[in-house]
Structure 1
Amino acid sequence: MAGLKALNINTPPEAEPHIYAEDDAAIYKAIFGGDGVSTIGQACKATVLSNNKVRIADGVLCVDGHMARIPYGEYEDCEIMNGQSGKNRNDIIVAKFETTGTGGIDTMTCEVIQGTAGETAVDPELTQDDIYAGGKVREYPLYRVKIEGLSITAVEKMFEVIPTSWILLNKINELSTRRITHTLLYYNADGTTGTFTLSDSVKNYDYIEIFYNSDVAGHKAPQKSIKLPTSQTVSSGDMLFDMTSFRMSSGDGTKMQLMNTILNVSGKTCKPETSRQINFGSTAGSVAWTVSNTPHHRVYRVVGYNYGS
């Protein structure tokens, strides 16, 4: 085995050429990440020209590290075979890389892989060899062309858009400047099973988190929490928090209980509704729902979260 292969070095004029396209492809794959379409230009945008032609606009793409592009102002027209009346078909437009092997002849083309017409359209199979590992053919799907009867009804993007390093840097900077802030809206060391009032309306926050526990087992501290976005409301505009707990209900461990209490939150007011529980007995047929007018979940604290812009 040859082992380490230097790529960016000068060699004597009489030395045999030793840098191949697959060497550059390995570098591009390490940077670009394999398959994808860059954001530059029109990013290989597809336009349906007729029921037999789809045009691919300019852009840069990568197939397992091997780069290709449709230059600015140019395009690639893909011919779509006629559909059949009463039948459906999926064709796939691919970027196809093919090689004869290391140091051999490579080709990169844009082709249409035709599906089989039938009552239900299915995608045709593609060849997707690992070129880096010595494969010879890789077909990277760009678009799914859906044909119903004689007409193209949709062209669906199948490729990943790979952002440039500048876009990624801007995104990182944007995320690094966003801060999550939280506000304690309610606190009760002993917890409460009754109606209580928050220090501020939930409408002023992005998320609300409720800390609670079942009071039946004598717990004196929150062991569970539920977090919901304030956009998640019922038709009345209120938020509903589904507080649940599971416990052994008797000393001999022959019964288990699943308990549920709905906490209705409207603005600053938090009101627990009727508790329901289901008892699982030790014998078949002993499962039954029961209802309690006294809520059996204690709320200890409520926290509001805001995500900075």
Structure 2
Amino acid sequence: MKIVSGRTGSPHVTSQQFRQMLEGIIGQGSYIITSGENLKPELSSNNLLKIRSGMMAHHGCISCVDIGTYDEVTLTNGSQGMKRIDLIVNRYTRNAETEVENCSWKVIQGKPVASNPAVPAYTSGNLQNGDLVDECPAFEVHYDGINVTEVKSLLSVTDGLSGLSRKLTNTNTNLAKANTVLENRKPIFIDSTSTGSVTFDTTNFLKSGITYAFVVAVNSNLNSGTYAQEITCKLNDVIIGKNGNYYTLTSIFSGKCSKGDRIHITSYKNGGNWSGWGTRCIFIPLS
């Protein structure tokens, strides 16, 4: 173990160590860092591409086009009646003897074909592992005949800490909305042990602006099988269901309602006494 961000009495921080730190912050891949014009490509002609100001990271190595300037990359003419894809890479090199490192643009010319051109191969290395050449694909230049039809940027633009903070804020906002939706989606259970009849006034427990599906379950029993009963369910005084002609019943009714509606359960029996009665209403939000 050795200290990096501290005084030792002599120069000791290496470019590799600095890149290690940046990889931990930005990532180990290849990205355009939000800066300047984000390395925007601009086609001046079929033979010249301008790359506007910006900065990029590749395996922790930072390179840039200075703000207020641009780089010019010379393109090779296309071929009449042929298609081609050229690759523009940010080429990292390190001199094995002097240890001098450098980054520059390089055009790798593809093979012209009649159709379905392929992207040319490049040197895929990793400068952090000591490779002397490490090329990062940045742009594809597509040709149809002698004309450039598309310049495609291959790298994503990082948002930076402010962008990350904004995304986190938006995520938290969306989570709060999702929690509200989930909260509103919870079913509501209302129970009653009233015997013979019961009224559920939804003003007391439903939320405004929401349509609910409801299910009413009534378990009712008479003390003797010689008698019979009938259970009726009404929504705002309109009958929505009946069940009966037996001394012990489980009655299920369903429908839709909203805050302010009233559900009435009434009963009729031709004799005897109630030996058991229980009612449960379940309200499920629909919208």
**TM superposition score category, shorter chain reference:** 0.5 to 0.7
1:10 aligns with 2:4: no
Offset, 1:301: 9.2
Match in the other structure for 1:63: 58
Residue 27 of structure 1 corresponds to 21
Partner of 2:82 in structure 1? 87
Asked if 1:110 is matched to 2:91, the reply is no
Residues 25, 185 of structure 1: CA spacing in aligned structure 2 closer, same or farther, 3 A cutoff? Answer: closer
Maintained 8 Å contact 1:94/1:143: yes
Q: Does 1:136 align with 2:132?
A: yes
Report matched runs for 1:219-230 at 5 Å. none
Q: Check conservation: 1:101, 1:134, Cα contact below 8 A.
A: no
Task: Measure how far apart 1:101 and its partner are.
Answer: 5.0
The equivalent of 2:46 in structure 1 is: 51
- Give the match for residue 141 of structure 2: 145
Report the Cα offset of residue 100 of structure 1.
Answer: 3.2
- TM-score between the two structures when normalised by the length of structure 1: 0.57
User: Contact conserved, 2:211 with 2:285, CA < 8 A, in 1?
Assistant: no
Q: Which of 153, 157, 166 does residue 161 from structure 1 map onto? A: 157
Q: Secondary structure at the match of 1:161?
A: coil
Alignment check: 8 A CA contact 1:63 1:138 kept: no
**Amino-acid identity (%):** 22
- Structure 2: distance between partners of 1:149 and 1:301: 67
Paired residues in the alignment total 195
SS at match of 1:40: coil
Counterpart of 1:38, as a letter, is I
Query: Counterpart amino acid of 1:65?
Result: G
Match of 2:263 in 1: none
1:39 and 1:163 in contact (8 A); partners too: yes
Is the Cα–Cα contact under 8 Å of residues 20 and 103 in structure 1 kept in the other structure? no
Q: TM-score scaled by structure 2?
A: 0.61
Q: Find the residue that maps to 1:6 and give its secondary structure.
A: coil
1:124 equivalent in structure 2: 120
Asked whether the 8 Å contact 1:62–1:68 carries over to 2, the reply is yes
Deviations 1:141-176 (A, max 9, x none): 111110110000011111121121121012112221
CA distance, structure 1, for counterparts of residue 3 and residue 96 of structure 2? 20
Structure with larger Rg: 2
Deviation string, structure 1 residues 161-193 (Cα, Å, up to 9, x no partner): 1121121012112221332132349999xxxxx
Distance between the aligned counterparts of 1:103 and 1:5, measured in 2? 24
The structure 1 segments of at least 4 consecutive aligned residues displaced by more than 4 Å after TM superposition are 185-188, 199-202, 300-305
Shift of 1:85: 0.6
Give the 5 Å matches for 1:269-288: none
Q: Distance in 2 between matches of 1:36 and 1:170?
A: 19
Coordinate RMSD, CA, aligned: 3.0
Residue in 2 that maps onto 1:74? 69
- 138 and 301 in structure 1: CA distance in 2 versus 1, 3 angstrom threshold: farther
Normalized per residue, the structure richer in helix is 2
Contact 2:88 2:137 survives alignment (8 Å):
yes
Contact 1:97-1:138 within 8 A present in 2 as well: yes
Is the alpha carbon distance of 1:152 and 1:169 closer, same or farther for their aligned partners in structure 2, counting shifts above 3 Å? same
Q: Give yes or no for contact 1:21–1:103 (8 Å, CA) kept in 2.
A: no
